[in-house]
Amino acid sequence: MATKQIVDANYRFIAAYQEINVRIAQRQQALAIFVTMTVSLLAALVALKPDAGASPLPIEWLVLGFPLASICLAFLSYKAERAITNLRQFLSELEQLENANERLPSYNTDPRWALEANKARRFQAFAAAALVAGSNAMGLGAVIKIYPERVAEHPIIIWLTVVAALIALVALLWIPRWSYRPG
């Protein structure tokens, strides 16, 4: 006869914290991928400088890679923030089992700890926003300097790039508003 076993709250707590650490690592990896993508795009723009008599390359499409990478970073940052928030809510519930939060320090339940952690974590969003602003500015600067004729022919591409980059920038700065707050 098989007996049912229930996973102890401590194991659930440990598993949730490990999942939070994985989400934090994924957020850091997303920043690294973003930097790699934008440096690669910038290198491609410089490497594809027009030569005399060479056929024109589709630089207009390449420049759109900067805001595309920026928007993807914003989506990945949002996903990570929501996952961390959900996990911290779960941890808070575990901390409150049998009123343990009244006897023990509770990182996710006590607003002093949770709000201070959120203040520190805002710098992740600031770093991402600075990278987005800088990489898009460098990409646009390179395109305008290296390919002024193409920019003059297709100004809509520049405006699309600017608007999409601004959307990603605003989204990244807005993400900390969705951080976990104790109930």
Confidence at residue 81, expressed as pLDDT on a 0 to 100 scale:
93
pLDDT of residue 1: 55
pLDDT above 90: residue 50:
no
Domain that holds residue 103: 9-46+58-178
Which pLDDT score, from 0 to 100, does residue 55 have? 63
Residue 156, in any domain of the structure: yes
In a domain, 1, yes or no: no
pLDDT-derived band of residue 52, with 50, 70 and 90 as boundaries? low
Domain assignment present for residue 53? The answer is no
The residues, any chain, with a CB within 8 Å of residue 94's CB and separated by 6 or more, are 9, 12, 13, 16
Number of domains in the chain: 1
Examine residue 32 and state whether it is found in any structural domain, yes or no.
Answer: yes
* CA angle at 137 for the pair 43 and 69, rounded to the nearest 5°: 65
pLDDT of residue 178: 86
Q: Per-residue confidence at 11, pLDDT binned at 50, 70, 90?
A: confident
**Residue 65 falls inside a structural domain:** yes
Predicted confidence at residue 48, as pLDDT, reads 83
**What local confidence, expressed as pLDDT, does residue 116 receive?**
85
Cα separation, 149 vs 49, in Å, equals 12
Give the number of C-alpha atoms closer than 13 A to the C-alpha of residue 128, restricted to the C-beta side.
Answer: 35
> Domain for residue 52, yes or no?
no
For the cut 90, the answer to whether the pLDDT of residue 85 exceeds it is yes
Domain-embedded: residue 86: yes
pLDDT at 4 over 70: no
| Tens of pLDDT, residues 110-146 | 998 888 888 888 999 999 999 999 999 999 999 999 9
Residue 67's nearest CA partner among 168, 174, 175 is 168
